[in-house]
């Protein structure tokens, strides 16, 4: 019975002193009140009555959302800023024994660092320099928390709340800026519209001038072609007349007319001349010397009217 009780006690002691460390956890073990070891993932057994687990440390990345802090800018504007810090415990021993309350220490350190950084910036720079503030805050906190076994990965400015009157002034400023941009855009639109309209008129005038020029050129070319065609027609007609005259002379030459035929043709030509409106007729001497011409002339004169006979007589006397 005693052995059974002793066996039960041994099993209870073993069960209560065997610990399983889960993932992303670390156990700080003390022996007789002093740091003894850091247990990581796995099964561990502590010595009964001598060892104790002083603290369980979470090794995952953690987030601290600090309360809004009142800060004063370089141009004496009071505003409220709250930040978010992302950190991770890299050394459980330093985290346990380095500082009494790590989170409170980080909170106070972030507050003082933020006030120092904002005190070097003016209002406009503060509102537009969040990246600068984040970088400086992370560098300061990471350097300060390194002896505590803490690694600060990121610091983000969550909200920047200026005073109400500053917000009103900023809203009025933004409204004026938007109105100015609207006026500029409207003026640029009107300018662009006027330019496009002027370019349209210019192009229209150019096209009209080119059309008139093309029409004038086509008209001149048409007149030129017509004149060329007319001249070619007249030249062809003259050429045909000359060819006919030449052919007639050739035929006349080939016929070899005698003097009587020539005299007869001369008389016919003189008759045509007498039928005209001329007041003077020059009779060649060859015709005057021909005796036979007088007889032929008298027969021709009888056939004509008396006024013509009188006119021919006068012309013959002259």
* Cα separation of the two ends of the chain: 198
DSSP annotation of 148 reads G
Q: Is 265 helix (H, G, I), strand (E, B) or coil?
A: helix
* pLDDT in the model for residue 269: 57
DSSP annotation of 47 reads P
Positive or negative, the CA dihedral 25, 31, 37, 40 is: negative
Listed in order, strand segments (DSSP E) in the chain are 18-21, 25-31, 34-39, 42-45, 51-58, 62-65, 69-72, 78-89, 150-161
Alpha carbon distance 10, 240 (integer Å): 152
DSSP annotation of 100 reads S
The superfamily (CATH) of domain 62-162 is: Band 7 domain (3.30.479.30)
* pLDDT in the model for residue 229: 86
The tokens 């406009």 sit on which residue?
Answer: 124
* Residue 52 CA, distance from chain mean position: 74
Exposed e or buried b for every residue in 224-254, given b needs 16+ CB within 10 A? eeeeeeeeeeeeeeeeeeeeeeeeeeeeeee
* pLDDT in the model for residue 200: 87
Rounded mean pLDDT for each run of 10 residues along the chain, 318 residues in total:
76 79 91 90 85 90 88 86 91 89 89 89 84 90 91 89 79 84 89 88 88 88 87 83 74 62 59 56 52 46 46 44
Break the chain into its structural domains and give their ranges: 2-58, 62-162, 260-317
CB 157 within 8 Å of CB 130: yes
């Amino acid at each position: 019975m005693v052995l059974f009780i002793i066996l039960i006690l041994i099993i209870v002691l073993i069960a209560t002193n065997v610990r399983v460390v889960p993932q992303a956890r670390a156990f700080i073990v003390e022996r007789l009140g002093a740091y003894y070891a850091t247990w990581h993932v796995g099964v561990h057994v502590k010595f009964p009555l001598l060892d104790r687990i002083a603290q369980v440390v979470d090794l995952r990345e953690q987030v601290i959302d600090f309360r809004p802090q009142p800060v004063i800018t370089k141009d004496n504007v009071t505003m409220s800023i709250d930040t978010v810090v992302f950190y991770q415990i890299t050394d459980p021993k330093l985290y346990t024994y380095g500082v009494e309350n790590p989170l409170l220490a980080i909170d106070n350190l972030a507050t003082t660092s933020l006030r120092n950084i904002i005190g070097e910036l003016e209002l406009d720079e503060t509102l537009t320099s969040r990246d600068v503030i984040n970088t400086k805050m992370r560098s300061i906190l990471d350097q300060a928390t390194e002896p505590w076994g803490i690694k600060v990965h990121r610091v983000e400015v969550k909200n920047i709340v200026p005073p109400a009157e500053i917000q009103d002034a900023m809203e009025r400023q933004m409204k004026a800026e938007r109105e100015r941009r609207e006026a500029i855009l409207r003026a640029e639109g009107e300018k662009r519209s006027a330019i496009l309209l002027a370019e349209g008129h210019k192009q229209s005038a150019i096209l009209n001038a080119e059309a008139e020029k093309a029409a004038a050129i086509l008209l001149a070319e048409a007149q030129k072609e017509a004149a060329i065609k007319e001249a070619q027609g007249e030249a062809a007609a003259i050429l045909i007349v000359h060819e006919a005259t030449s052919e007639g002379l050739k035929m006349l030459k080939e016929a070899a007319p005698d003097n009587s035929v020539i005299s007869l043709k001369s008389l016919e030509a003189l008759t045509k001349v007498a039928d005209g409106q001329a007041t003077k007729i020059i009779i060649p001497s060859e015709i005057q010397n021909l005796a036979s011409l007088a007889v032929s002339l008298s027969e021709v004169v009888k056939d004509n009217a008396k006024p013509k006979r009188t006119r021919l007589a006068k012309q013959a006397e002259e």
